[in-house]
A and B are shown apart, each in its own frame.
Chain A
Amino acid sequence: MKKDDETSLKDFVNSLDETGHERRAEMHSDSFFDNAPDDATLVTRSREFDDIHKHYVRRQVWLKLVKRVAAANGGNIHLLTLPGKFRFEVGLYQKCGLLKRVPHNGRDCLSVVGFETDPTTFGLLKTSGPPLLEMLLGSILSALTDATSQNGVLIRKHAPFDVINLDLTANIANQHDGPYSPFLQSIRECFQLQGSQSTPWLLMVTFRTGLAETERRVVQTLTDFFQTNLDTHLQFREQCLDAFDVESAATLLERRPHDGVGLFTGKWIVEQGHQFEWECAEFKHATFTRGFSHKDGSQDAYGMSKLCFLFKKRLAPRRQLILRQVPAQSWHADDLARLIKPGNRVDVDSAVANLSESSRARLAAEIEEFKQNQAITA
């Protein structure tokens, strides 16, 4: 036997080693239950929200921006998202003809990279049609923050994207996460991923705005950071006064905590974009409240912020050498002002309450249509 052949044979034999598989099974590595909360929370989180509020944002607020990005990109988009069991977002873009069809492994796939942690929902999504370019089992945050993991490698292989939707329905930083939470790390990773994107792209983020559940130090840091901007940029302070009748970040947080957390996070994201030379050319901030029942039957609600940023590449001028960070530019202040520009904030609760019967019915019918498309009821 030739030496090369011996090497190949050895490689082949090594590839059969089950040690890794056994170790992962032994350690319950990536076990859904090992990472799952208590059953009650799991049940709550497993709910696929099909409320009109969410679909209103998708259809009436975000879709216009998605269409703009698609138009600048030949009419189609390449999407990174958490599709959810009923694939509402994918269904909507597909219906509007915004999703590229790409041949992949012998199949005609929608140009979507999707993530799901629940094995059931993952299984349902993986077997639903038309197939997505990638449907990956695991946490999108882990994939974004761990470039060496299997999913981390794959997400980078398919980057950059035209639309990134981090619809997490979680807090930006949980109590135990520490100040620089996986959520916030992931946002920065998104900018890294998008390095080679030459056309405008959208970053959508959804998170809970409950002050009590959010890591206190994160809120404090973001508040201070926001205050710095208020102190630095006159235009920004004036608009904040016009919009919320406040001049300080602390007062805004005290009076309107949900708006405050949403806005402070939005500002942080825009500033991160600046570090990677992305201009926030458009911004939408949709908020609504979602009710739920406690175990004792009492009713409660939490606030949701859904932010959408349209980023465009805007390189720093040649006359400035970039050292530790991108030097401040005049347009940075414009971007911040855009965060509280009238018309960019959408109160979804009141918008839905004021919908005409026919508009409400249309939204409800579309929700039902997408649910039926994914239903397994034969």
Chain B
Amino acid sequence: MAQTTTQPQVELRKRHAKTVQITASEKIIADISTGIYRTPAAALKELIANAYDADATEVRIETDAPRFSQLVVRDDGCGMSLDRFLEIVQHIGGSRKRIDSPTGYSPVHNRKLIGRIGIGLLSVAQLGQRFYISSTVKGSRTRFLAEIDLRPFHKDDAALRRLGEQRDGDEIDIGSVRYVDGLPEASASHYTVITVPDPKAGLISEMQSQLRTFIKSEPTFTLGKRAKSFQQIVETVQKSKRADIVLDSYHYLAWELGLLCPVKYLEGGPFLPATRGRRRIVGADEIELEEPQNFTVMLDGLDIRRPILFPNPRATGYAGPDPAVHPINWREVVAGREVSISGYVYVQQPHVDCHELNGVQLRVRGVGVGPYDKSLMGYPYDEGIKFGQVSAEIYVKDGLESALNIDRSSFRETDPHYLAIRAYLWNVLQKTVFPLQKSAQKTVKAQKDEAKQEEDEKVLEKALKGAPAGVGSRPTVSPKPPAPARGRSTEKTPGPKEARKPKTVKPGHYQTIVVVAKGQAQVDRDELEEAAKLFGLKKDAKTRLLRVAGVLAAYDVWDSLSPEQARGLFHALAAAVRS
């Protein structure tokens, strides 16, 4: 006999999806106007930050590359109920998170909360005017599905305000939500899924790098020639001057997500250990890195990591000081609230190769706030090329949230916490980083000069072998003559022939400018100083003059000259080597 499989009874009235309006305060509208995010990565960052706050361990983003006909962002966070979702969309910009969690920490992984969830929803509006969101919380046997239409949000600021005149108070309708609740779901499941079914043309154009194609740019990785791993992307960028030269827009999105999201560094990064082909980084062992635990972001299967790997290959071949990293660690009460930061300032010569990693990036709760600031938070001294040698990350553990602008990519620069952190950074740069950099540079230069001189002398020595006088390659300067004894100032100055005969010279008694004594050319100190003064010789030029004089001595040239002729030749040589 046939059996029937009976499903649990579901009680529902016969009705269709409900609709509510999405509202935001006029102040928020004034702040955000249209399109508050600089790049698609910055918009996605908001959703990832929301997932992080919701104790997710994984966020998966599927872009449907290379068509980009849909976008999906799914996380395994704690999810939300329909009531909570509706409350959020009706109070855009007002964060419920800290009200729901008075400690400011997430309940499962004890993460310090990052953001404002309503703003995250507006970030999706940059990707498409209409999208779906569905979520379920653990223990619930249902999920909700909502379709969000943010077309009004895409109108300009003035148009939005006109819409707002139709409502009471300062709330403005920026869109609507249709939703249905009670869709069946396993009670153990918890997730949030956002689906953008019809991404905007501008986004698709950007992701497909149509403009780059138009100008015939030739990046290393393209949609037709995809990187096999995130590591491969980073290694390629590491060798290049700018990430956006070697990456098309799609790969740049992946790379930028790594910079902005609270994800781990690449294996072995950011400071690679020294090997035969790679320079050591001074101080790398002392840096305490801040990395999130139990959190990954996957973009079309790519495991997104923080894309920082130092030293750049170019630093290895450069004859400058070893790259160095200086720790940052500071805690202070500022304006009654605690500010706590850690991080590092990395310095590499001749410069940090990748343009986008040059400067300083502040990370609040692991999330990068905007791109690297090349001005080093407006550092007010001209450090010339040294600016290009710095790459710093500052992890803000406590404080600074109030300074974040609504786009969460920049700060309000009059905020006390921002000012305090800036002061600390400038202090570190001025008192530690740049002085150490200069002193390391000087030491290396001195070592370099010394090594070069030794090398030059070896070459000269070789060249002088077999010269008639057989002098060495290192002419010396005569010691300072002792002060002449009183009453014995009538001593006759010997002529050139007389000077040659003895081959030994008494201190303070010179017949000519250059003599050879014990197989060594010796130049009269007074004559040298006089010539140096006369022709403005610097140290290097004086060394060159000595060497040339030595060569002439090795060939007995000085012996054949009168003192006047010798002086004349000496001055001519001084003039010749002066520059």
Contact = CB atoms under 8 A, between A and B. Distances in A.
B205 A22 contact: no
Size category of the A interface is 35 or more
Interface string B179-214: 010111010111101110110111001000011001
A8 interface: yes
Interface string A41-52: 011101110011
| Contact-size category for B | 35 or more
Interface stretch (A192-200, A244-252, A293-301): A293-301
A40 B149 CA distance: 23
Interface in A19-56: 20-22, 24-26, 30-33, 36, 38-40, 42-44, 46-48, 51-53
B385 interface: no
Interface in A113-168: 118-120, 122-124, 126-127, 129, 131, 137, 150
Contacts of A122: 70, 72, 195
Nearest to B74: A127
A120 B70 CA distance: 13
A127 B186 CA distance: 18
Interface string A340-378: 000000010110110000000000000000010001111
B193 A25 contact: no
B228 A292 contact: no
Interface in B127-159: 128-130, 132, 134, 138, 143, 145, 147, 149, 151
Contacts of B273: none
A137 B76 contact: no
A26 B4 CA distance: 44
Given A123-B134, A353-B1, A43 B17 contact: no
A120 B16 contact: no
A126 B300 CA distance: 10
A223 B301 CA distance: 51
A105 B66 contact: yes
Interface stretch (B56-64, B325-333, B357-365, B409-417): B56-64
Nearest to A377: B188
A317 interface: no
Interface stretch (A9-17, A89-97, A176-184, A306-314): A9-17
B194 A123 contact: yes
B147 A33 contact: yes
Contact of B183 (A43, A52, A127, A150): A43
Contact of A124 (B8, B65, B193, B223): B193
B201 A43 contact: no
A371 B10 contact: no
Interface stretch (A69-77, A261-269, A283-291, A325-333): A283-291
A131 B63 CA distance: 13
A18 interface: yes
B195 A18 contact: no
Nearest to B134: A120
Nearest first, the 6 closest Cβ-Cβ pairs linking A and B are: A106-B226, A291-B4, A123-B193, A349-B2, A120-B134, A119-B132
Interface of A: 8-9, 12, 15-18, 20-22, 24-26, 30-33, 36, 38-40, 42-44, 46-48, 51-53, 105-107, 118-120, 122-124, 126-127, 129, 131, 137, 150, 288-293, 295, 297, 299, 301, 347, 349-350, 352-353, 371, 375-378
Given A126-B64, A353-B1, 11 more contacts: A25-B149, A25-B198, A31-B130, A33-B178, A43-B182, A123-B134, A291-B5, A293-B6, A301-B4, A352-B3, A376-B190
